[in-house]
Structure 1
Amino acid sequence: MNHEVFLKAMTQIDDELIVSASDMMQKPKKKNPFLIFSIAACLTLICGIALFSRFSATVEISIYDSILSNQTIRVDLPAPAESDIRVSTPELISIPIQINADRIVHMSTKDGTIEVYSPDYSELLYTGQSYQSKELVYIQWKIEQPNIGKTYTLIINNNIDISLFYDETQKCWTIQKQ
């Protein structure tokens, strides 16, 4: 009889453990929708920042050692000889431009030519109307026989326009980024 009581006590404990374990397994955990949406929002934000920083290239354009902006910069032209009376327009305008970018930069012009030089100006790399580079480049934008009434444009990455025009108020050629 002693064994029967002991056996009954053991099976009763086992039955209670099985019932309590099955109760715990049957109760599904409630999912917190706020937690799921906040995790999704964080992942979306991280992906958006990563994509934005990848596709936004920084292009730094310098002319005469100053960063080009929406403000006009006066173009330095060689002074005409004192005996030369026809000071109306120069025969050639040559503008030194430094372009530094962290991605591929495409530059093109329909007005004049682009001469691309190595960073130390020791080697002429290209002469033409369009060029593509991923490193620091020095270019000379040359316009022959410029017309005072015309605006000349150099396009960089199809979204940055560098305009050269004659400013009637200052009586000089100026350049600016638009």
Structure 2
Amino acid sequence: MEAGRHVHLERLETTMVKLIASADINGAPVAFFEPPHHEPDFLWVDGLQLARAFLPRAVADVLFEAVMRNPQRSGARRVRAGGRMVVLISHPITQGLCSAIDLSNGDGEDGPAFNTYCRAAARLHQKHWPLGLSGLLAAAKNAGGPALRARTDGEDA
């Protein structure tokens, strides 16, 4: 990717989602959103912001250019939120991204990026998206909702 090139989000669908809150992750703001579906689930994350919190901007941009070429493979959702375009990724995909970042840095799969994200997500869930025990169990069983089920069932997400 050329220096100064930005990820092009204007090509994305215009589904609207609600911003729940932002967290400071590794010194960068990362937005958390309601799931882009109506099933039990954990909060979804602005994937590009999260990647940029741990990776050089150019690397994060290349990663999300690839995600946007075929979002069905990752379960990503391209949405409009607060007047801007966002690539949302689900909690399990976010955990996987953080584990991959940790492994690439020579840390274990539950290294600093994974733990920093999980702690921030837990705080935001507790404060802004309380699910209760039954809600947590339902979200854990259904994490990613139809976006990730489509990856395993072959149904349209």
TM-score interval (norm. to shorter): under 0.3
> Which protein is richer in helix relative to its size?
2
**TM-score normalised to structure 1 length:** 0.25
Q: Which structure: larger Rg?
A: 1
**TM-score normalised to structure 2 length:** 0.27
